[in-house]
């Protein structure tokens, strides 16, 4: 089963990205999505080639945002694709069944389609406004998550759903009560001065109802 916390990387340069990813791994993250927008293919490849062994060292999952061909080229653990990115079924054909494919959703219907097309997990959002991403889909809020997760249950659709968008530590418990599997975050981890403590607190809330 996938970890309940995914760190989505930030940074305008290769160096800043690597620094942020390294810090997140050091602080206890074991799932990284490399999100390096509007960069040359060369720079994206350079970063990915550095992030891959780093994630291996920390036994963390490493997935790539948007770029299916880079995912294949560097043999990453998977890819995250948005509603206007490469289609999930196309990605599955190229990557095969062993790789993780995540898909963005804003509605129940988006999730239904992703499941039909062979998606492994869903990034459902945005939860609230965030400056991390431009051109946000409609904000879901807590009620939006309740509604969509109820519909999934009623229709017996089972897939790990991650909430995303402007999530803070204080949101985690109430979001988990909606039935989501976990959360995907950027800003709170990148900007924290006490990353290890924060990640521990987030994980306590994410895993509060798990009996080991
Ligand atoms: C886990 C997760 N969920 C949603 C997204 C957003 O993907 P997308 O809509 O393609 O937007 P960009 O991140 O590509 O700007 C995500 N990246 N991760
Ligand atoms: C990539 C993405 N997709 C929807 S919101 C978002 C950004 C999440 O970042 P943050 O946790 O800083 O709001
Ligand atoms: Mg995308």
| 65 annotated among ligand-binding-site residues | yes
Q: Share the mean pLDDT of the chain.
A: 97
Does residue 114 lie in a domain region?
yes
Which CATH number does the domain housing residue 75 bear?
Answer: 3.20.20.70
pTM tops 0.95: yes
Does residue 212 lie in a domain region?
no
Average pLDDT over residues 31-58: 98
194 pLDDT higher than 70:
yes
* Residue 105 near ligand 2, beta carbon < 6 Å: no
- Structure confidence at residue 141 (pLDDT): 98
pLDDT in tens, 87-117: 999 999 999 999 999 999 999 999 999 999 9
Does residue 141 lie in a domain region?
yes
| 107 annotated among ligand-binding-site residues | no
The number of domains in the chain is 1
What are 33's strand-pairing partners? 8, 63
Does residue 59 lie in a domain region?
yes
Does residue 195 lie in a domain region?
yes
| 61 C-alpha to ligand 2 centroid (Å) | 19
56 pLDDT higher than 80:
yes
166 pLDDT higher than 90:
yes
| 178 annotated among ligand-binding-site residues | no
CB of 167 within 8 A of CB of 188?
yes
- The 3-state secondary structure of the chain reads CCCCEEEECCCCCHHHHHHHHHHHHHCCCCEEEECCCCCCHHHHHHHHHHHHHHHHHCCCEEEEECCHHHHHHHCCCEEEECCCCCCHHHHHHHHCCCCEEEEEECCHHHHHHHHHCCCCEEEECCCCCCCCCCCCCCCCHHHHHHHHHHHHHHCCCCCCEEEECCCCHHHHHHHHCCCCCEEEECHHHHHCCCHHHHHHHHHHHHCCCCCC
Q: Which domain holds residue 78?
A: 5-206
Percent of the residues in the chain that have a pLDDT greater than 90, as a whole number: 98
- Structure confidence at residue 212 (pLDDT): 66
80 pLDDT higher than 70:
yes
> Looking at ligand 2, which atom is closest to the CA of residue 35?
1
User: For 169-174, which contacts have Cβ atoms below 8 Å and span 24 or more sequence positions?
Assistant: 169/198, 169/201, 169/202, 169/205, 171/127, 172/202, 172/205, 172/206, 173/205, 173/208, 174/142
Q: Give the model's confidence band at 210: pLDDT under 50 very low, under 70 low, under 90 confident, else very high.
A: confident
3-class secondary structure, 167: coil
């Amino acid at each position: 089963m996938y970890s309940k916390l995914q760190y989505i990387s930030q940074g305008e340069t290769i160096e800043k990205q690597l620094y942020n990813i390294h810090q997140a791994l050091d602080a206890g993250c074991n799932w990284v999505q490399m999100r390096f927008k509007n960069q040359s293919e060369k720079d994206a490849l350079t970063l990915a080639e550095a992030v891959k062994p780093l994630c291996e060292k920390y036994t963390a999952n490493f997935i790539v945002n948007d770029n299916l061909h880079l995912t294949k080229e560097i043999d990453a653990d998977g890819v995250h694709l948005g509603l206007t990115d490469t289609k999930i079924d196309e990605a599955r054909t190229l990557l095969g069944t062993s790789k993780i494919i995540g898909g963005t959703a804003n509605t129940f219907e988006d999730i239904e389609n992703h499941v039909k097309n062979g998606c492994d997990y869903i990034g459902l959002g945005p939860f609230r406004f965030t400056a991390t991403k431009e051109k946000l889909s409609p904000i879901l809020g807590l009620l939006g998550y309740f509604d969509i997760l109820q519909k999934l249950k009623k229709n017996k659709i089972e897939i790990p759903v991650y909430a995303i968008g402007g999530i803070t530590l204080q949101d985690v418990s109430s979001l988990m009560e909606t039935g989501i599997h976990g959360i995907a975050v950027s800003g709170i981890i990148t900007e924290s001065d006490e990353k290890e403590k924060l990640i521990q607190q987030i994980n306590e809330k994410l895993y509060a109802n798990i009996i080991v």
